[in-house]
A and B are shown apart, each in its own frame.
Chain A
Amino acid sequence: MRASGARSKAGFFVGLGLIALAAVIGFDMARMQVPPNYASYGPQIFPYLSIVVLVAAGLYFLWQTATGKPDSIRADSDRSDWGGVIGISVGLLAQVFLLEPLGFVLSAAILFFAVAWGFRSRKPLRDAIIAILLSLATYLVFTRLLNLQLPPGILKSVI
């Protein structure tokens, strides 16, 4: 059965993910040096508490998923369209890497276009025009009216 296979895989990743996060916190705590007079109420108590809860929750989800109990981890729908996640990812990564070199107007337009593509828009020309107009307008409002700085990039001499 395909559906239950996908379900147990997701449960496996979520369960192990929570336990892995606990391990990261534990690793970070191990290198911390707490002054002895703070030992009973120092900065390590809440992290240790989080580790305990994360491991317990991780094991709980592994167990629930493996045995098909009601609290198992499964997507709430069988139909998934990964185009959206990819489109938004591409757009945000473009914003991370291109914002400062290219400037806000172009990188934000790329983000807008990528998100619209991810939502399966079938009108690329319309999207591109709106993308450029919206990011230009946003740039002008934020830098001229609200005095917040956004990188101008390669359009520095034009806008």
Chain B
Amino acid sequence: MDALDNLMAGFATALTLTNLMWSLLGVTLGTLIGILPGIGPALTIALLLPVTAKLDATGAFIMFAGLYYGAMYGSSTTSILLNTPGESGSIITALEGNKMARQGRGAAALATAAIGSFIAGTIGTVLLTFLAPVFVKLALRFGPAEYFALMVFAFTAASALLGSSMVRGIASLILGLVIGLVGIDVLTGQTRLYFGIPALLDGIDIVVVAVGLFAVGEAMYIASRPELRDSEISAVKGSLWMTREEWRRSWKPWLRGTALGFPFGVLPAGGTEIPTFLSYFLEKKLSKKPEEFGKGAIEGVAGPEAANNAAVAGVLVPLLTLGLPTSATAAILLVAFQQYGLQPGPLLFSGSSTLVWGLIASLYIGNVMLLVLNLPLVGLWVRLLKIPAPLLYGGILVFSTVGVYSLNRSTVDLVLLYILGLLGFVMRRYDFPIAPCVIGLILGPIAEQQFRRALQISQGDWSVFVTHPISVFFLVLAILVFATPFILRALANRMAANAERSEAS
């Protein structure tokens, strides 16, 4: 019961007064940014990086993790009451949740979302506690070739699954990779893509890219779409205490949503969006009253909300044990680890076990705090939705420039911020997913290092990637991820043809 001992030690760390305070600050900030449209966990953590540089690492990560969990809770409130999802993982929640709010059942929708998030978050954290040591054992057998193959798999999964089309995902990924190339190559000292600008020699800071794509690009996009600017807020109506009937209809979707969400978070298969969609369609399929879907079915809120919180817990497994981020927020968290000179991976669990287990224990505590923050206090949070968009985005941009300028106290970074903001705007406008770009930016340089190190060890022999069994396994998985959409489409076509034939006969 190694994991249990470690977890107990983790609780000893997490339950100190300072760390409880960091956790509370994190979950509160997370709920806040989850509720506010236009600002998400990836952006917030990126903006906090310069400020937290001097803090104690354990406290900072407890805060960041609370923030990530909290954003998922908060965004469901926005989805339900405003019909604009606060984060991409809550798009589905808006479908049924907002319908419920309009029928005066908003309180029940908020309650099933919050309790479902709590249950899924807690089960997810338990799974994280016991899976992490298993992953660590596995990861210890990885060499550069295996790591490179794993990243190829992560790249293909991110680009194939995160957007509306695979080529858009790949284009976004490569844009991130190219931004990551700028600066001095670590292994040879060669400069790449710096065009004689001294500020580019150290590369483009990830904070600048994240803030440009997420804050500036998003603000431009929302401002350019008049129909997105003003939405109607539904008041919280009904009782927050769910009826017996509502409990009966919610508990199975919560558990099924958790079962779907967690594995999707663990696999490099695209973070929180896909499991929420799958959970929604599963609930619709299993429901005895499928006709209620689209008109405010509580199962359609309970399942997807559980799925996205379980996915967040799942995302932490590969992040902490392999150093592999599978969502944009996880990618920024990886940068936060690097800022403290820590490298997530098997060695993190032996070298900084106090930090890791304190972090994991704090997730249990954070979940309890979030349930309290988001259920009885929901009325307070709702007031945030009344901030007019011009003031909200004005504030977001002021904080964005403060964060970016204080990195190096250089206005060159502000120029880069503007250019990247325009790139983010174009990507949003023409439906290119942003997350693969962030993942490419952060994993690209790591993948390149592992790739070249593997070839250095094999003295330039490329077969090293196909002779190591684990490496082959990941490369085959990567090919499968690429091929699956085509196979599914072919199957769907055949099924449609069959259905037509049987209808005709």
List residues of A whose CB falls within 8 A of some B CB: 10, 14, 18, 21, 24-25, 28, 32-35, 38, 40-43, 45-47, 50, 53-54, 57, 60-61, 70-71, 73-77, 79-85, 87-89, 91-93, 95-97, 99-100, 104, 108, 111-113, 115-121, 127, 130-131, 134-135, 138, 142, 146, 148-150
Contact = CB atoms under 8 A, between A and B. Distances in A.
A61 B427 CA distance: 14
A117 B504 CA distance: 59
A46 B393 contact: no
Contacts of A42: 188, 452
Contact of B430 (A10, A57, A116): A10
Determine the interface band of chain B, counting residues with CB < 8 A from chain A: 35 or more
B451 A138 contact: no
B430 A75 contact: yes
A72 to B, nearest CB: 10
A89 B395 CA distance: 15
Interface in B390-418: 390-391, 393-395, 397-399, 401-402, 405-406, 409, 411, 414-415, 417-418
A59 to B, nearest CB: 10
Contacts of A99: 401, 405, 411, 414
Contacts of A134: 394-395, 398
A96 B418 contact: yes
Contacts of B395: 112, 134
B181 A50 contact: yes
Contact of B460 (A35, A41, A71, A120): A41
Given A87-B223, A111-B397, A115-B390, A150 B406 contact: yes
A79 B223 CA distance: 11
B188 A38 contact: yes
Nearest to A80: B224
Closest 10 CB pairs of A and B: A84-B223, A41-B455, A121-B390, A116-B390, A119-B390, A43-B185, A112-B394, A40-B460, A115-B394, A57-B171
A149 B213 CA distance: 25
Contacts, number: 190
Nearest to B168: A71
Contacts of B430: 10, 14, 73-76
A134 B391 CA distance: 10
A13 B226 CA distance: 24
Interface in B245-269: none
Contact of A92 (B50, B388, B401, B452): B401
Contacts of B165: 70-71
Nearest to A76: B431
8 contacts: A18-B171, A28-B195, A32-B190, A71-B168, A96-B414, A96-B418, A112-B397, A115-B219
A81 B185 contact: no
A119 B393 contact: yes
B402 A142 contact: yes
B324 to A, nearest CB: 18
